[in-house]
Amino acid sequence: MNSGKLIDGNAIAGKVLNEVSVQADQFSKEQGRPPGLAVVLVGEDPASSVYVRMKIRDCAKCGIESFSHKLSAETTTGQLLDLVDALNRDRQVDGLLVQLPLPGQIDTRTILDHIDPAKDVDGFHPRNVGRLVRGDGEVLVPCTPAGVMRMLDEEGVDPKGKNAVVVGRSDIVGKPMALMLLHRHATVTICHSRTTDLAAVCRSADILVAAVGRALMIKKDWVKEGAVVIDVGMNSISREEAPQLLLDDPARIADFEKKNYTLVGDVSPDAAQVASLITPVPGGVGPMTRAILMENTLKAANWRTN
């Protein structure tokens, strides 16, 4: 039996951020201003507030100027559209993202469709989605699946000819992930909540990507010996919900003592015993998503000014 090597998402993300820093510096010298990212947060959702703070910190780390806009939880679709319009026109702003989820009274799709596709660093605008489907070159693509592809490349995993199984079909992770693997010539299966015998489909995967949002759902015996496992899931569980496997891990115990929860993926960590490569949670896909956001901002800045 293998003992799967952990893919160090923090290290690869660090490499991406260094590359972005060097190029952002070059951009600043040429343009007389740094690349700019506008981040819009509506309401007080604690997780969203943390994500926005981290994105702003990443900008500072790699020489990207951030423009933070915080709106009240009562903001209407019309008011948010006005802000998006203004940021679309703002020449200092190269990238624009509206943190999701938005409060219920706001029509999320209308907002996302209104962002200038050239500034759409999340890659959610239909024009960018269409370009991804077609496999066009210069396109802003969603950060999480792009981060996964970069990890595979860094680890020397070529998807060509491999069976790739993506569990989850959301617009932000599952679907674009499947398309990116397809463009790299994998044979791709997409699974979802109505898939029959999910365990058997997962066992057919040379590359298994889990993007479900269900803590530890994918068990060790769902993973083929030697498979590459990418765990996108981010779920917080309490000590009471934790299986023995986690309670035997000193890092998890420390988490429970500090904050009474720990962050786990969709894949049971003991799958590492059969996988050839596997991403940990935390420290796997999460940091890559943030790093690719910086890379997308730089791309948008370069494309807009060239």
Residues with active-site annotation: 55, 99, 122
By CB under 6 A, tell whether 285 contacts ligand NDP.
yes
The reply on whether position 235 binds ligand NDP by CB under 6 A is yes
Question: What gap in Å lies between CA 7 and CA 49, rounded to an integer?
Answer: 27
Task: Give one DSSP letter per residue of 70-109, joined into a string.
Answer: EE-TT--HHHHHHHHHHHHH-TT-SEEEEPSSPPTTS-HH
CA gap 112, 124 in Å, rounded: 7
CB closer to ligand NDP out of 84 and 285: 285
Is 87 a binder of ligand NDP (CB under 6 A)?
A: no
Please report how close the Cβ of residue 172 comes to ligand NDP at its closest, in angstroms. 5
180 counts as binding ligand NDP under rule CB under 6 A: no
Q: Are 143 and 122 in contact, with CB atoms under 8 Å apart?
A: yes
Helices (H), ranges, the chain:
9-31, 46-61, 77-89, 108-114, 126-134, 143-154, 174-183, 198-203, 244-247, 250-259, 285-305
**Nearest residue (CB) to ligand NDP, 151 versus 211:** 211
Q: How many CB atoms lie within 10 A of CB 39?
A: 23
Q: Write out the binding residues for ligand NDP, residues 205-224 only, by CB under 6 A.
A: 211-214
**Owner of token pair 């009474």:** 260
Cβ closest to ligand NDP, residue 157 vs residue 285: 285
Stretch that binds ligand NDP, among 86-94, 130-138, 231-239, 247-255 (CB under 6 A): 231-239
Q: Please report, as residue ranges, which positions from 119 to 158 form the binding site for ligand NDP (by CB under 6 A).
A: 144
Binding part of the chain for ligand NDP, among 13-21, 73-81, 192-200, 237-245 by CB under 6 A, reads 192-200
How far apart CA 255 and CA 237 sit, in angstroms, is: 11
Can residue 160 be called a binding residue for ligand NDP (CB under 6 A)?
no
d(CA 136, CA 140): 10
Two tokens, residue 67 = 């423009």
Amino acid at residue number 268: S
Rounded to the nearest whole angstrom, what is the least distance from the CB of residue 210 to ligand NDP in the complex? 8
CA–CA gap between residue 96 and residue 66 (Å, rounded): 10
Nearer to ligand NDP, 81 or 182 (CB): 182
Residue 57 in contact with ligand NDP, rule: CB under 6 A: no
Q: How big is the site for ligand NDP, counted in residues (CB under 6 A)?
A: 25
Q: Which of 289, 296, 297, 302 binds ligand NDP (CB under 6 A)?
A: 289
Give me the least distance between CB of 252 and ligand NDP, in Å please.
Answer: 18
Where do contacts with ligand NDP occur on this chain (CB under 6 A)? 144, 167-170, 172-174, 191-195, 198, 211-214, 232-235, 285-286, 289
